[in-house]
Amino acid sequence: MQAQPTASHFVDGAYIEDEAGQAFDSFHSATGEVIARLHAATPAVIDKAMESAARAQVEWAATPPAERARVLRRAADLIRARNEELSRLESLDTAKPIQETLVADAMSGVEALEWFAAQAASIAGEAVPLGTDFAYTVREPLGVCVGIGAWNYPTQIACWKAAPALACGNAMVFKPSELTPLCTLKVAEIFMEAGAPAGLFNVVQGFGDVGAALSTHPLTAKVSLTGSVPTGAKVYSAAAAGMRHVTMELGGKSPIVVFDDADIEDAIGGAMLGNFYSAGQICSNGTRVFVQSGIRDRFLERLIERTKTIRVGDPLDPDTHMGPLISEAQRAKVVGYIEAGTREGATLAYGGGLPSGPVFDKGAFIEPTIFSDVTDDMTIAREEIFGPVLSLLSFETEDEAIARANGTPFGLAAGVFTRDLARGHRVAGQLQAGICWINTYNLTPVEAPFGGVKQSGLGRENGRAAMEFYSQLKTVHVGLGRVDSPY
Ligand code: NAD
């Protein structure tokens, strides 16, 4: 099983290598096999990437928006045509099941590229009448934007950042997670093939120090990070020193509130997708499932029945629902949380172990896990686990559920399941989260803004809102009278 790229980095329109950079391996975590060996970017590679991006950005910003849109659409078409090949690579890189990657990764990138291509041509300012004078505004690109990715959705994260950035006339230097370095190189290749100028979208590899060097590079106008809250705090403060723009897509501990009157099967489906999809490695997962006491027992019983049908296995097998975690280290972390849950008095209602057998022996597999009788003060109800561990909590009243759902420093997402229309909107209105779902969960269509409040981040990806985070306003005041000067 090999997925060795031509070279580690894609800079100024071509693959480049610099063996002076720290060597690191990329593993397929279902088997533990090394699938590629790469080098982290040296300062020389970082400078080359930033300088080529700065050059390309000037040319790109001067390109008519309709032509920029054509390049994005061509990139979307190429990704769609190669979805199978790209999804297989994504499944090697992340060990997510092929049945997920075929629909949720490269194809989500396609949607972002198509949608932001459509936005590119409608970027416009406003005319502001001022009596005799007038002013007009121009929405300008920021310059070179740095994208830094997490390991759970490498292609999607790169496209969600690149599509609005490029649509607005920026260039991008992207650093994928060191755990999933492969997919974004393909995105860079495809942008070139689609007709983007060399240097418009570059990929440099490396660990946190490379991300930090990019965040403070003199040519960096903006940093968009998808990662954990502690990394976000570091990147935000590093960017602040240069007054750089930021978008922070960070972690969460999101609540799903299920009322007695909800469609119980839909609520269970939402809770399962919001905890077990991608083996639970999704930032917006609803890991605290608050169920009203009248349906709590029935909910738990059906949740367990349905969770038993999840097929854990080889991610490349089309029948597999759930693959392993991204690494042994991540599994050890999740196992530590499961132990904490048991130790602190939660009931281990399902799973909690490591599956055994020939398919599982060398991989970072873990069973889908359900804890019931969880209380708000337990570690598993407070900290982001980033694995397939669902915590079930019960509540009596609407006010109580809202207060407890909001009792977290995070604020990425929230869900409410009820058949009562007024209650659905009333509760969504009070939940402290950047995105709330009513009677569904974890849907992230490109048309709707996505992002967090509180410690889960700032700025928004997707939707028209994303365009504002990759552009800035210039006001031009036009004097039509004489200059009225007292001097
Ligand atoms: P992480 O914070 O460890 O790493 C994220 C990226 O930041 C990596 O590329 C890493 O190399 C880089 N990095 C680390 N230190 C840095 C520094 N000092 N300066 C610049 N870059 C640095 O996160 P992870 O473990 O890769 O991903 C999991 C986390 O990401 C979870 O908390 C999850 O909730 C979050 N996440 C959020 C979203 C979202 O859209 N809100 C989406 C996916 C994942």
pLDDT (tens digit per residue) in 370-399: 999 999 999 999 999 999 999 999 999 999
CA distance 319 to 101: 13
pLDDT attached to residue 333: 98
Q: Which atom belonging to ligand 1 lies closest to the Cα atom of 151?
A: 26
Question: From the CB of 227, is ligand 1 less than 6 Å away?
Answer: yes
Confidence grade of residue 62 (pLDDT, cut at 50, 70, 90): very high
Which element (helix H / strand E) includes 80?
helix 65-81
Distance from residue 148's CA to the centre of ligand 1 (Å): 8
Distance from residue 367's CA to the centre of ligand 1 (Å): 24
* Angle separating helix axes 183-193 and 83-94, nearest 10 degrees: 150
Nearest to 101 by CA among 316, 330, 282, 312: 316
Mean pLDDT of 226-249: 97
Q: Are 106 and 41 in contact (CB under 8 A)?
A: no
Distance from residue 132's CA to the centre of ligand 1 (Å): 52
pLDDT digit string, tens, across residues 144-175: 999 999 999 999 999 999 999 999 999 999 99
Q: Could you list the active site residues?
A: 161, 249, 283, 461
Q: Are 429 and 412 in contact (CB under 8 A)?
A: no
Q: Are 367 and 360 in contact (CB under 8 A)?
A: no
Question: From the CB of 152, is ligand 1 less than 6 Å away?
Answer: yes
pLDDT digit string, tens, across residues 320-376: 999 999 999 999 999 999 999 999 999 999 999 999 999 999 999 999 999 999 999
HSE-CB for 423 with a 13 A CA cutoff = 18
Confidence grade of residue 1 (pLDDT, cut at 50, 70, 90): confident
Question: From the CB of 211, is ligand 1 less than 6 Å away?
Answer: yes
Which element (helix H / strand E) includes 347?
strand 347-350
Q: What is the pTM of this model?
A: 0.98
Where on the phi/psi map is residue 125: left (φ > 0), alpha (ψ -120 to 50), or beta? beta
Where on the phi/psi map is residue 249: left (φ > 0), alpha (ψ -120 to 50), or beta? beta
Q: Is the pLDDT of residue 218 over 90?
A: yes
Question: Which residues are CB-contacts of 451 (< 8 A; sequence separation ≥ 6)?
Answer: 247, 249, 412, 434, 435, 457, 458, 459, 460, 461
pLDDT attached to residue 461: 98
Phi, psi of 302, deg, nearest 5: -70, -35
- The protein residue with its alpha carbon nearest to ligand 1, atom 42, reads 283
Distance from residue 235's CA to the centre of ligand 1 (Å): 10
Nearest to 292 by CA among 440, 392, 425: 392
pLDDT attached to residue 254: 98
- The protein residue with its alpha carbon nearest to ligand 1, atom 34, reads 251
- The protein residue with its alpha carbon nearest to ligand 1, atom 35, reads 227
Mean pLDDT of 225-240: 98
Report the DSSP beta bridge partners of residue 222. 145, 245
